[in-house]
Amino acid sequence: MLKFDDKIAVAVSGGKDSLSLLHILANLERKQPKSTVVAITVDEGIRGYRDEALRMAARTCRELEMKHYVFSFKELFGVTLDEIVKRQRQKASRHLTACAFCGVLRRKALNIAARNVGAYRLATAHTLDDEVQTIFLNMFHGDVWRLAKEKPVTDEVHPKLVQRIKPFCEIPERETALYAYTRRIGFQSRPCPYASEAFRTDVRVMLNRIEEKHPGTKFTIFNSMEKLRPAIEMLAEKEGLVECSKCGEPTTEKTCRTCQMLEQLR
């Protein structure tokens, strides 16, 4: 995943996974003088939650003497997640959850952030648990394209898209927590106030229950997906990337999902 002269942007939320990843990559960087690691944090604008996480992220970056860049939804999209939720809740009709907006907007924000800091690769701290949850979520949503494309090292399919790497994709979440504790890394433990609405939370509970009874299941699912992926990629290959007619960012449709969502809010 990493090269000796890489410039890596690490997506740092302030939680145990991303701060552990930052520590590990910072250690590797010291051994590779031609490489650079910087931290980027996306501030979604979740009052009382993201503020604390931002402080944790900033503190660790200072300790590691690492550059830390913060990009906010407000700056990039003109609206915070709290404002989006407020507007959505005023709607009489069925509305999208906070996480549905957050996921799409954060993904785009991270790509813009990584590109702006000149990174060759964007490292995210998705753990084995996250990866297996995502496999199920994509299946539940019937999203075959994402099922094929969400892999530990993404293909560079567009010049505006920074390659994503997931160095923790085979590390169980419990182990990243253990690493953070043993290294005495301070991290945010408070959950996001919108987390209970997330479909992902249900999938997490389901998978944890299965794993408890049948240890090793998460690894088996992850490995099965890796074996199946080439076949699924053949099915999904037809969708190429174009530039969004509104914002110019890479998308599979005429208008990207972020612009569609922001339009819907207006």
Residues that bind ligand SF4 (CB under 6 A): 44, 98-99, 102-103, 192, 194-195, 198
Question: Can you give the binding site for Zn ion, defined by CB under 5 A?
Answer: 244, 246-247, 256, 259
Rounded-to-integer distance, Cα 96 and Cα 185, Å: 35
Running DSSP on this structure, what letter comes out for residue 57? H
Provide, rounded to whole angstroms, the least separation between the CB of residue 172 and ligand SF4: 19
259 binds, among ligand SF4, Zn ion, none (CB under 5 to 8 A by kind): Zn ion
Provide, rounded to whole angstroms, the least separation between the CB of residue 242 and Zn ion: 11
Report the residue number, 95 or 246, with the smaller CB distance to Zn ion: 246
Provide, rounded to whole angstroms, the least separation between the CB of residue 223 and ligand SF4: 26
247 binds, among Zn ion, ligand SF4, none (CB under 5 to 8 A by kind): Zn ion
Rounded-to-integer distance, Cα 2 and Cα 95, Å: 41
198 binds, among ligand SF4, Zn ion, none (CB under 5 to 8 A by kind): ligand SF4
Provide, rounded to whole angstroms, the least separation between the CB of residue 245 and Zn ion: 7
Beta-carbon contacts of residue 109 (< 8 Å; ≥ 6 apart): 42, 71, 73, 76, 77
Report the residue number, 44 or 131, with the smaller CB distance to ligand SF4: 44
Q: Are 207 and 133 in contact (CB under 8 A)?
A: yes
The backbone torsions φ and ψ at residue 159, rounded to the nearest 5 degrees and listed phi first, read -60, -20
Q: Are 61 and 12 in contact (CB under 8 A)?
A: yes
Q: Are 126 and 168 in contact (CB under 8 A)?
A: yes
Report the residue number, 76 or 232, with the smaller CB distance to Zn ion: 76
